[in-house]
Amino acid sequence: MQTKKGQSIEDASMQMIEDEIGSHTYNEKEWPIVRRIIHSTADFEFANKNKIIFHKDAITSGMNALKNGCSIVVDVNGVIGGFNKQNPKDFGNNIICNISKPEIMDLAKKEGKTRSQVSMRTAISDIDGGVVVIGNAPTALIEVIKMVKEGIVKPALIVGIPVGFICAAESKEELAKLEETPFITNLGRKGGSSSASAIINAIFKLIRTESAS
């Protein structure tokens, strides 16, 4: 829970974002998510140049899955570090991050793949019907897209916002081509774990706001 002082600082920060951005093209549910990303990164380009792209069903599908206790599969522990821990505790979401398991390293070496690829392949049962959150590894995102195309998983939502130079922008372009799978992504090389976790925190806040109304 936020302290009163902490909440006042956050509120002031959000108001500064509102004042500096001014008008935008996001709707009433998209904008709180984009604003939370800007708040977590201090990067205003997420509102325009590196703008956030929403599949038409992304927010509704993500909200429904998360509030019903779906698994949250992440690519790296850094994403977990940015989560508001009270949310998965309250809604019963199991957080899965396999990348540091010794058997993942062994299998990745054996198959000539990255740990990120293998960690996603070993989380099939949690990805199917779950929410996937990728903020660091483009190869993880590419692997999930492959699994979707193979018809072996049907995630409720893919948050694909990996940062980097090799395949980061390209992996997000491929994600944006999916028509039947809800996703949230962005343009370009920017992204990262803080952006990915901010998206999930914002969706949980939308769930709480909706429940309170």
Active site residues: 39
- Bridge partners of 52, per DSSP, are 186
**CA-CA distance, 132 to 128, in Å (whole number)?**
9
| CA 18 to chain centroid | 22
Ramachandran assignment for 164, one of left (phi > 0), alpha (psi -120 to 50 degrees), beta (any other)? left
- Smallest CA-to-CA distance from 77 within 137, 26, 130 is with 137
Look-up: residue for tokens 């769930």? 207
CA dihedral 53, 200, 39, 139 (to 10 degrees): -60
Q: Across the chain, how many H-helices and E-strands are there?
A: 11, 6
**CA-CA distance, 135 to 151, in Å (whole number)?**
23
Burial of 135 (0-12, 13-18, 19+ CB in 10 A): buried
